[in-house]
């Protein structure tokens, strides 16, 4: 794998290979808690990726035994002011929304725990594959803090009653339950985690880049619309997608019973 970031003391490590960029959160001793510095590093990479047409897929992973334990509570308590907390949660929300706004799919590769804003991070990615030993919770309520911003992403992945139960009890769910509830796509033995994520990324890379870009943007936008408006919008997107060279090539390839040669 070609390495773009050689500073292994960095909060976020970036590697890339054949159109796949891997971002590794690198605060293992802190269970990859989302410090201001780590959020800033994530935002920097999101901003760079947003305009990089060479990148076809992003994998978000972490170093150490945990995926992400949420916000850095020690750092949060060091600046007890309303303005600081508002700015911090705006910063975090911008990162979460930025992942969803990227034109390429983002896959969360999860091991260990994903709690509070860490669970929010999983829910904010387009796809998620977890080791079958992974566990998920929104546990702020244990310290007197309702996980309000994680609730936004969580409630858009799982049903309202399941999300609310997680939010008010802080109970962990295991990977099998997370898959059943729709928080993750796949739960696999830990030894197979890399291979499953790589296979999912390969499936994405085999498809038309322009169709993926059209589709990701459309998918999230239409979910916020009334049914009739969603169909009007989706129909227009699909018509514009049909005008792309890749659509012509893909249909011709299908009719001619050959593999497509994507141009974009």
> Residues with Cβ < 8 Å from 21, sequence gap 6 or more?
14, 15, 45, 49, 55, 57, 58, 59
Per-residue pLDDT of the chain (264 residues), as tens digits, is 455 554 556 999 999 999 999 999 999 999 999 999 999 999 999 999 999 999 999 999 999 999 999 999 999 999 999 999 999 999 999 999 999 999 999 999 999 999 999 999 999 999 999 999 999 999 999 999 999 999 999 999 999 999 999 999 999 999 999 999 999 999 999 999 999 999 999 999 999 999 999 999 999 999 999 999 999 999 999 999 999 999 999 999 999 999 999 986
| pLDDT, tens only, 149-164 | 999 999 999 999 999 9
Instruction: Region of 32 please: left (phi>0), alpha (psi -120 to 50) or beta.
Output: left
pLDDT at residue 209, as a whole number: 94
DSSP state of 112: S
Residue in the block written with tokens 């799982």: 158
CB 173 within 8 A of CB 135: yes
Distance (Å, whole) CA 34 – CA 70: 6
Q: What is the pLDDT of residue 1?
A: 43
Burial of 152 (0-12, 13-18, 19+ CB in 10 A): middle
Q: Specify the pTM.
A: 0.95
pLDDT at 211: 96
Which residues face 110 on adjacent strands? Answer: 130
Which of 67, 55, 3, 59 lies closest to 30 in space, CA to CA?
A: 67
71: which DSSP letter?
A: B
pLDDT at position 237: 95
Q: Which domains does the chain have, with CATH numbers?
A: 12-206 (3.90.226.10), 209-256 (1.10.12.10)
Structure-token pair, residue 251: 């249909």
């Amino acid at each position: 794998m070609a390495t773009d970031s050689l500073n292994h003391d960095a909060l976020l490590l970036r590697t890339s290979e054949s159109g796949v960029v891997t971002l590794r959160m690198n605060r293992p001793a802190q269970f990859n808690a989302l410090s201001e510095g780590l959020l800033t590093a994530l935002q920097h990479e999101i901003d760079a990726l947003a305009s990089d047409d060479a990148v076809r897929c992003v994998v978000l992973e972490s170093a150490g035994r945990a995926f992400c334990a949420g916000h850095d509570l020690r750092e949060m308590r060091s600046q007890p002011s309303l303005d600081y907390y508002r700015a911090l949660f705006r910063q975090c929300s911008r990162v979460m929304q930025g992942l969803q706004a990227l034109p390429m799919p983002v896959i969360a590769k999860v091991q260990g725990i994903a709690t509070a804003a860490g669970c929010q991070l999983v829910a904010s990615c387009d796809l998620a594959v977890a080791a079958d030993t992974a566990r998920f919770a929104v546990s702020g309520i244990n310290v007197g803090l309702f996980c309000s911003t994680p609730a936004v992403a969580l409630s858009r992945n799982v049903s309202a009653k399941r999300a609310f139960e997680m939010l008010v009890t802080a109970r962990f769910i295991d990977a099998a339950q997370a898959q059943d509830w729709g928080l993750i796509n796949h739960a696999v033995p830990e030894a197979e985690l890399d291979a499953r994520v790589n296979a999912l990324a390969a499936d994405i890379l085999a498809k038309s880049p322009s169709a993926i870009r059209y589709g990701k943007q459309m998918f999230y936008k239409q979910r916020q619309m009334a049914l009739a408006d969603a169909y009007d919008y989706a129909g227009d997107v699909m018509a514009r997608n049909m005008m792309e060279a890749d659509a012509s090539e893909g249909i011709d390839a299908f009719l001619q019973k050959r593999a497509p040669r994507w141009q974009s």
